[in-house]
Amino acid sequence: MIEIVCPADKTLHYAEEANAGKTIRCRKCGAILDIVAKPQPFDLAGQRKEKKRAATAEGKEQGKAPDDIWQRLLSPEVLIGATAGVLLVILTAALWPDRPVRVPANGAVKLAPTAIDINATPPPAPPSVPEPAPAPEPVPAAAATPPPAKHPLAGKRITPASASLANPATPLPPCATGHQPARPVNGQRIEPDGGTSGTSSIRLVNSADRDAVVKLVDTNSGKIARFVYVQAGHSYGLEGLEPGAYLLRYQLGNDWVPDCRQFTRNSEFNELDQPFVVLEDRIRFFTVTLSPSTGARSGSRKIDARRFTAG
């Protein structure tokens, strides 16, 4: 996260690292503020080590130059070529005649015992037997690739029967019948914000494998101060919180139905044990990790759907 401070009224803003180079508008005075990325520290020691490593590698390469020449001379290609040349010279010297053959007038040629008689009738060639053709190798059948698993509710409208098929333990709320699930973008408001002139903020980190909706309820008035959607593996900041005490409730699940404003599959309702207290004369920053409740020491407890929707 990048922190931006308004020079006019000292209001603190947050922006993602991906928005570096862009601008935002101060929510208090309306001034245009630049989003400047954090400077990267200069690693002098790392550059020295890299230069030393490069110099060492260059020295080793220069020292290995004579060895590379010998390796090329003793390579398999050079040895095979030299061996073939020597064998060709030996065969040529062995088969080359020492003196020319004299042919008499009658055409008879006297040959040495080891020579071949050119007037002799060559023996009949043995009958050629065709070699049997090799049998074709069996080609193994390609293993059938199973089709990818498809969600039971993909592209379908939700009905009581389809919802029970997807998650038998979660009853389908009546408001979800006939509607398709939709996944809002990260940080989308379910309800408009209430009370945004403060300077404190809460950063939400969803570490669960399911999406979440977070509701911030004012303990004094019972009104909803924030109601936002946080996708799994993402984070979002609730800024501009005014002085007061707030209860944080969140629901984890899949298949969000906007008309019901709740998840219809793998749903779980939780509430933090302690409220957030925002003082008038202080700027406070909180961080909350959204995860399933695991017990009394986890900092959160499970609640029912009635309590979640009450605030």
Which amino acid is located at 295 in the chain?
Answer: G
pLDDT < 70 regions, the chain: 40-43, 59-68, 97-171, 295-297, 311
Q: What is the pLDDT of residue 129?
A: 62
How confident is the model at residue 104, as a pLDDT?
Answer: 53
| Tokens coding 28 | 């208090």
Contact (CB, 8 A) for 6 and 26: yes
| Distance (Å, whole) CA 253 – CA 196 | 28
Helix (H, G, I), strand (E, B) or coil at 176: helix
CB 161 within 8 A of CB 143: no
Burial of 136 by CB count in 10 Å (0-12 exposed, 13-18 middle, 19+ buried)? exposed
Question: Rounded to the nearest 10 degrees, what angle do helices 44-63 and 65-73 cross at?
Answer: 50
- CA distances from residue 249 to 98, 186, 224, 227, 310 in whole angstroms, order as listed: 109, 17, 11, 10, 11
Q: What is the pLDDT of residues 19-48, one digit of tens each?
A: 888 898 898 888 888 888 877 666 677 778
Q: Which two tokens stand for residue 114?
A: 């080891």
pLDDT on residue 163: 46
Task: Compute the CA torsion angle 52, 56, 59, 60 (nearest 10 deg).
Answer: -170
- What pLDDT score does 15 carry? 86
Run of H or E residues at 217: strand 211-218
Architecture category of domain 181-310 in CATH: Sandwich (2.60)
pLDDT 10s digits, 221-265: 999 999 999 999 999 999 999 999 999 999 999 999 998 888 989
For residue 27, what are its two tokens? 């929510």
- What integer pLDDT is reported at residue 275 of this predicted model? 93
- The pLDDT score that the predictor gives to residue 50 is 83
pLDDT of residue 57: 76
Q: Where are the domains of the chain?
A: 2-34, 181-310
pLDDT at 161: 43
pLDDT at 133: 65
Angle at 199 between CA 194 and CA 201, to 5 degrees: 75
Residue showing tokens 């080891």: 114
What is the spatial distance between Cα 181 and Cα 157, in angstroms, rounded to a whole number?
Answer: 8
